[in-house]
Amino acid sequence: MNTPEAISASAVAALANRQLDWRHKAVPATANGTTHAEFLADKHTLADFQTPLLTLDARALEANADRLAAWCAERGVLLAPHGKTTMSPQLWDKQLSRGAWGITLANFAQLRVAREFGVQNLQLANSLTDPHAIQWVADQDSTIVSWVDSVGTVELIESTLAGTDSVLEVLVELGAHGGRTGARGVGAAMDVARAVAASEHLRLVGVSGYEGSLAHTADDAGLAAVRGYLADMRLLHEELLAAGLYGSGSVIITAGGSAYFDDVVTVLAPVISTGAETGGPSVDLMIRSGAYIIHDDGFYRGISPFSREGDAPFKAGMHGWARVVSQPEPGLAILDAGKRDLPFDEGLPEPQFIGPVLGGPMEPLVGAEITSVNDQHSFMTFDPETTTVRPGDVVRLGLSHPCTAFDKWTIIPVLASSEPGEAGNAGDQSVVDLIHTFF
């Protein structure tokens, strides 16, 4: 029997046949009507685009994908990247081709995108409470594992699937006070697990949780909150084992976004087991980091374990490009990129370089700051005594939080390198791919 593809290679390849037009704000007007493949064959460069613009760096994407895949393999940990970060089957393919177990998603609409592109192993990091979604998941010919955090959710799924022979695999989600979803405490989670074990249409296959909602820093207090929560996840797993509530010979324990995945492995790796030594189920540990493949120049740059360790940190794989549309008073420039174009929820864009044209030589932009953003504009302050800024100048911006960058673009050009040429160097950046997103 042939092993199913992790993702449909033909569906991903078919994106090259998509026609580019006015609906894709990143696409140059001169390329209207061409296909993705034709656009790349024409050897476009950054200079062919207009602003505002979001670009990706090919070298950073490859390095980041390789880095975490190797890190997980060395530790015997599964990776199911959170695909909601990019909603790009092309980037999911990069992750899956490097050995990822599957793709994690957040809601029903995202699951439908993944199945359209033939993703075989999926994790819904949420509870199924929409009857339409419950029935759809039950009808899929693929592995879709979801979460439950209350007896009420178990009862809802049971009633929705009554009269069918469907059985859904679920993880019991442990939460914490002040966190997001999840049963509040080990005792409450055990009650949910007992309800699953007694149900006709559910099978308990593990424990899930998300530590990222409990801390936003890597200081002692933040790390203590994360580690304490992870210890509770381990305790829950041990109690489930002792009570014999797992309904499968293979169990998954999963946590870990892009900020604390090292702590997840430190605390939870001892649960990994083949089952041979205990006579119980085999146990895998799975992290779900999603932002790592893109990384950033803001929140994740500061909090990523690799940044904190100072050992081969991830590389910023996305940048914004904006043009000065007004310089109305000394020390103030208005740029043509705003909330509709660039992320701002985890820190404002960071001015890095400036030059007279897009794709041309640029100089470091020292001391400049984005102080606020409107829907379509950014306010950049600078020292007029040391920096000259003119209407038409182009600014490269470092960005924070890829999760709220990608949703603003249906197509994102990938540059061979997003590093601007130095002053006096007329070199331009080549476009090597176009990334399609489906939000």
pLDDT digits (tens, 9 = 90+) for 358-375: 999 999 999 999 999 999
Looking at every residue in the chain, the average pLDDT score rounds to: 95
Q: What is the CATH number of domain 9-57+314-436?
A: 2.40.37.20
Displacement of CA 64 from its chain's centroid (Å):
12
pLDDT digits (tens, 9 = 90+) for 130-160: 999 999 999 999 999 999 999 999 999 999 9
Percent pLDDT > 90 in the chain is: 90
The CA-to-CA distance between both ends of the chain, in Å, stands at 35
Confidence (pLDDT) at 2: 57
* Number of neighbours of residue 271 by Cβ within 10 angstroms: 17
Distance CA 406, CA 395 (A): 19
Residue ranges of domains in the chain:
9-57+314-436, 120-289
Confidence (pLDDT) at 428: 78
Tokens coding 2: 């042939």
Q: Label residue 308 by pLDDT band (50, 70, 90).
A: confident
Q: Which is higher by pLDDT, 324 or 311?
A: 324
Distance CA 239, CA 67 (A): 34
Please answer whether residues 293 and 257 qualify as being in contact, where contact means their C-beta atoms are separated by less than 8 angstroms: no
Q: Label residue 3 by pLDDT band (50, 70, 90).
A: low
Lookup result for tokens 């909602």: 213
Task: Provide Rg for the chain, Cα atoms.
Answer: 24
The SS3 assignment for 411 reads: strand
Which residues is 46 bridged to in the sheet? Answer: none
Please answer whether residues 411 and 436 qualify as being in contact, where contact means their C-beta atoms are separated by less than 8 angstroms: yes
Lowest mean pLDDT among 47-61, 110-124, 308-322, 323-337: 308-322
Confidence (pLDDT) at 389: 97
Asked if the model's pLDDT at residue 425 lies above 50, the reply is: no
Which residues is 353 bridged to in the sheet? Answer: 364, 396
Q: What is the dihedral of CA 111, 113, 117, 118, to 10 degrees?
A: 20
Q: Label residue 276 by pLDDT band (50, 70, 90).
A: confident
Determine whether 371 is exposed, middle or buried from the number of CB atoms within 10 Å of its CB (0-12, 13-18, 19+). exposed
Buried b (16+ CB within 10 A) or exposed e, 132-167: ebbebbbeeeeebbbbbbbbebbebbbebbeeeebe
Confidence (pLDDT) at 424: 44
pLDDT digits (tens, 9 = 90+) for 218-255: 889 999 999 999 999 999 999 999 999 999 899 999 99
Distance CA 60, CA 71 (A): 16
Superfamily of domain 120-289: Alanine racemase (3.20.20.10)
Tokens coding 359: 């794709």
Distance CA 211, CA 43 (A): 44
Q: Which of 397, 418, 258, 391 is nearest to 341 (CA)?
A: 397
Residue 38's alpha-carbon distances to 160, 248, 429, 435, in angstroms, are 48, 49, 18, 15
Lookup result for tokens 């490269």: 396
